[in-house]
Chain A
Amino acid sequence: MGAPTSLKQKFLKKWIMGLQICGSSKKEMGILERKKAIKLAADVAMASTRTATTCWSRALIANASKCDENKMLVEHIMGSSQSERLSVKSACMGCNKRIRSKKILGRSKSISRVKKIAPQKILANSIAKRLVKKRTQVLKSLVPGGESMDEFSLIEETLDYILSLRTQVSVMRRLANATEHSNRK
């Protein structure tokens, strides 16, 4: 059972590292700034535990690295080796465009395809499809980097993302509680 704990520990370790960097760098930070820094550190730490193997982690880190001020933090948390790997992998983001164009092509093809379904079923099918499509759109917006994923990989990424979010939430909660306790004393 070392696996479950080690993930949390990895995350916590990286997160603490990031937070310490944040704390040491700036002297005065507004509450919102702090919150952002905490969240950023947590997200990056979470993504780095995946060592850029999943799409969402890469997208998350890529987004975080966009601002220069965050870049240092990101690199620190990630470690130089990982950030290199990440930059290489971010090149694959370009391939997402290919995926997107493929999708567009596929969609245009499907439109031309004629399906023989009973008329009463067509309505139900189309409604169901629309619902599912709407929801997948929403899910794509939720999962980082989900825009350029096909349905199947989106679900896989969601799975992984949910697990990571859970870890993040549990660790943060524990830390928050512990801090509260310590502050109470």
Chain B
Amino acid sequence: MDMGDEDKFEVDKRSEDSLNYHSSDWRFGGANLNNTSMGSIPMGIPMTVCKGDLIGSSSCSSATMVDSFCPTPWDHPTNSQNLGFCDINVQNNASSSNTLGIRKGGPGALRASGVKSLDIGWNSTSSMLKGGLFLPNVPGVLPQSLSQFPADSGFIERAARFSCFGSGTFSDMVSPFSIPESMSPYSSSGVAMQVPQEVFVGNGSKSMSGGQSQKNELNIAEASKDVTLTVERGATEGSPLKNERKNESFVRSHDEAKQGVDVSGNESDEAEFSGSGDQEEPSMLEGTGGEPSSVKGLGSKKRKRSCQDTEIDQVKGAPQQPCEAPKDNSEIQQKGDQNPTSTTNKTTGKHGKQGSQSSDPPKEEYIHVRARRGQATNSHSLAERVRREKISERMKFLQDLVPGCSKVTGKAVMLDEIINYVQSLQRQVEFLSMKLATVNPRLDFNIEGLLAKDILQSRAGPSSALGFSPDMTMAFPPLHQSQPGLIQGGLPGMGNSSNALRRTINSQLTAMGGGYKEPTPQLPNVWEDELHNVVQMSFGNNAPHNSQELNGSLPPGHMKVEL
């Protein structure tokens, strides 16, 4: 049963979390906090991982801290991407152990749903807290849902309170705030939540002492409540998230944190919750972390949301969430399984941007995705969303590459532009090859070799201007002034590559036969201008892209940097 597992998780979490938590969470924390990174972070995995850890270690009273964390991440608007990933994770993690849902796979799905609810709830709080601590993943996911989450004054207070939480494990977790946020919400509220059981554990201890009692009550009452309920609680106003698991998780986490539910108390509640089936697995904690229940729901286990809801309800007691999570969770899990491998590779590339998170993604097998508010939490749709987000990211690169594509939005139009561009480039190649064929009656490239030299040299000119190699510019003038023999002798100033190439060509030329000496002094002068212009042009266009080219096989993260 879920409850049994969850209980175990709780215990394990406590011990593990502190270890994992700090390592993983804090890494993310830094990165996650940045809103910018959130958007681009395709993988919610780091976040989920962090969350799990956070929750586990948060066994102490970091619950309150969680609240503080949660709000901030929600602010980030990048949710879309994170959501996609979170979902996948939720699915995958659900089934597995989820100490905090970070375990790859199962919980991810849970998270996805949970994140949604959390997002909604957290948005309001996050805006209040302005911590920006929230995990990048979470922010991406959350923002969408959170924005709709009404801000609760009480919630805000609590969030503010939690932000200054500096006690115990949470303080550590809170500091980075990036990951811990996601975790913290869970931890605080997590007590009640099952999935993140570990998270919950932490939460419970944190500040949810008051909430505990409430939770208990709610647990029973909630039965059908989802994480969203918790979200509502956190926001106190919002229960618009009812259907959003994420919201629930948010609310719950907030509420719990705010209420200072005791961890111990929460644990017991969590046990209940685990049974109740907050479907989000702890692995999905990444979401707004606030809602462990949401995480559970997304997890592989298709626990009923009621369990989770009760958790959330503890704080607020707004049992309204339907138990949609269970169905979604199972689906999410399936999706998570399907997607992880393919997406993992790709997402790892994207992790480069995330910085600290990049360390985790490679280990992740699944992508933690969080469902967005108002969107289906079907495992298929979640995985599709992840896929879509990845594709849209790639399209952004293409936008920079293809001229005139910056103002175009929409896949179809952009694809159209890309097709036109590729076709035009291919036609250019054909035309130029035809031109070369006409120019060289016998494919005689002796002079070509010479030209190549000059081409290289002319390339060297602009390149040195670009800072490529100062020697090249110096070598360039002497090249033209020197005798043909000297030219072949070698240009000391040229860069290594150009030298090597030149030497190769020179050797080839000599092998083919001399006779190019005469035109040499004249050619450079003539070609120089023309080639120089061409080179400058090409360099101007290609320099930024070439670096991309060369790194073409590198993960997209590099490309982003260069762009």
Which residues of A approach B to under 8 Å, CB–CB?
Answer: 1-9, 12-13, 16-17, 19-20, 22-23, 27, 29, 31-32, 34-39, 42-43, 50, 53-54, 113, 128, 131-132, 135-136, 138-139, 142-143, 150-152, 155-156, 158-183, 185
Contact = CB atoms under 8 A, between A and B. Distances in A.
B470 to A, nearest CB: 12
A155 B422 contact: no
Contact of A174 (B422, B455, B463, B498): B455
Per DSSP, chain A at the interface is helix
Contact of B548 (A53, A163, A174, A181): A163
Given A2-B468, A151-B391, A34 B418 contact: no
Nearest to B502: A9
B346 interface: yes
B437 A5 contact: no
B546 A168 contact: no
Interface in B535-557: 535, 537-539, 541-543, 545-553, 556
A3 B546 contact: yes
Nearest to B534: A174
Contact of B527 (A16, A39, A181): A181
Contacts of A142: 419, 422-423, 426
A139 B402 CA distance: 14
Contact of A178 (B397, B527, B537): B527
A13 B531 contact: no
Contact of A177 (B416, B531, B552): B531
Given A20-B508, A176-B435, A160 B552 contact: yes
A22 B519 CA distance: 24
Given A54-B553, A135-B416, A169-B432, A23 B444 contact: yes
A53 B412 contact: no
B22 to A, nearest CB: 34
A50 B552 contact: yes
Chain B interface size range: 35 or more
A163 B497 contact: no
Contacts of B442: 23, 27, 29
B11 interface: no
A76 to B, nearest CB: 13
Interface of B: 342, 346, 380, 387, 390-391, 394-395, 397-398, 401-402, 410-412, 415-416, 418-419, 421-423, 425-426, 428-430, 432-440, 442-445, 447-452, 454-456, 458-460, 463, 466-469, 495, 497-498, 501, 504-505, 508, 512, 519, 522-523, 526-527, 530-531, 534-535, 537-539, 541-543, 545-553, 556, 559
Given A2-B469, A136-B415, A176-B439, 15 more contacts: A6-B497, A9-B456, A19-B445, A19-B448, A20-B445, A35-B437, A128-B410, A135-B412, A160-B553, A167-B542, A174-B451, A179-B439, A179-B440, A179-B451, A182-B451
Contacts of A185: 519, 522-523, 526
A176 B437 CA distance: 9
A29 B443 CA distance: 9
A99 B504 CA distance: 42
A35 B438 CA distance: 8
A181 B432 contact: no
Given A23-B445, A185-B523, A50 B553 contact: yes
Contacts of A139: 415, 418-419, 422
A27 B441 CA distance: 10
A173 B428 CA distance: 9
Contacts of A22: 443
A9 to B, nearest CB: 5
Task: Sort A-B residue pairs by CB-CB distance and give the 8 closest, nearest first.
Answer: A4-B546, A23-B443, A178-B451, A34-B437, A135-B415, A170-B538, A35-B437, A163-B549
A176 B434 CA distance: 10
Contacts of A17: 508
Given A177-B530, A182-B447, A1 B466 contact: yes
